[in-house]
Amino acid sequence: MKSQRILDLGCTIGGSTVPYAERFPYAEVYGVDVAAPSLRYAHARAEYLGVAVHFRQENAEALSFEDESFDLVVSHGLFHETSAKATPRILKECHRVLRKGCVTMHMDTQLARGLYDYQAYYWDWDTHYNAEPFWGTLHHSDARELLADAGFARKTITEVWPRPQADGSVAYDPVRDAGGELVGTTIFGGQKL
């Protein structure tokens, strides 16, 4: 993958942003977040680590970047901190700022279809009593539909549930894809055609 410009949405202190800059040293890497204190820390941390990253205070629902200006748009744990109204707007912004042929990928808490009653109860409890007000709506969202509604071609949309392996790596979980055990993380995304 030859990414020239990478955008990390909801980057907080740059924990996911810095590795992109390290992995793609010739790319311009941007991290955006609404929290100014987190961005100040992210900038200081990146400088200390000697990694060039551009941090900006922006709302992912209305980015200031030009159309088709990024090769890769990512997020890590953004959507479970975001309202059901904001999520479609953020995904539309991902589509807008992506160049044709490029992809967006997002990792977040488990999105689930056909939850068992106990799992639904457990996640609804977190929504109401564990300061996670957006978990309930996210867990019952359909990532494929959200991405399609944002403009991504259905044939390019992917949604996977990685399972941690004993060696520290992760692997695709076909059992979960068939409606089996939940594993806690969903990775979803699509390509702009």
Convert the pLDDT of each residue in 141-177 to its tens digit. Answer: 888 999 999 999 999 998 877 666 667 666 655 545 5
Q: 97, 68 in Cβ contact below 8 A?
A: yes
Residue linked to tokens 């999105």: 111
Cα torsion angle, 92, 41, 80, 72, sign: positive
Two tokens at 101? 């042929």
Cα–Cα dist 54/39, whole Å: 10
Token pair 């990253």 is at which residue? 53
Statement: residue 180 has pLDDT above 60: no
What is the reported pLDDT for 156? 96
Architecture of the domain delimited by 59-191: 3-Layer(aba) Sandwich (3.40)
This prediction's pTM: 0.86
Residue 182 dihedral angles phi and psi, to the nearest 5° = -85, 145
Task: Considering only CA atoms, give the Rg of the chain.
Answer: 17
In which residue are the tokens 């400088």 written? 47
Which tokens belong to 22? 């390290």
Assess contact for 159 and 107: CB atoms under 8 A. no
Q: Quick check: helix, strand or coil at residue 116? A: coil
Residues near 27 by beta carbon (within 8 Å), at least 6 away in sequence: 3, 4, 5, 6, 20, 21, 71
Summarised one tens digit per residue, pLDDT across range 103-116 is 999 998 776 655 56
* pLDDT, average across residues 71-82: 94
Mean pLDDT of the chain: 87
Q: What's the Cα-to-Cα distance from 20 to each of 38, 47, 103, 145, 152, rounded to whole Å?
A: 18, 15, 15, 28, 23
- Which of 6-20, 97-111, 126-140 is predicted with the least confidence, judged by mean pLDDT? 126-140
- pLDDT on residue 171: 63
Per-residue confidence at 138, pLDDT binned at 50, 70, 90? Answer: confident
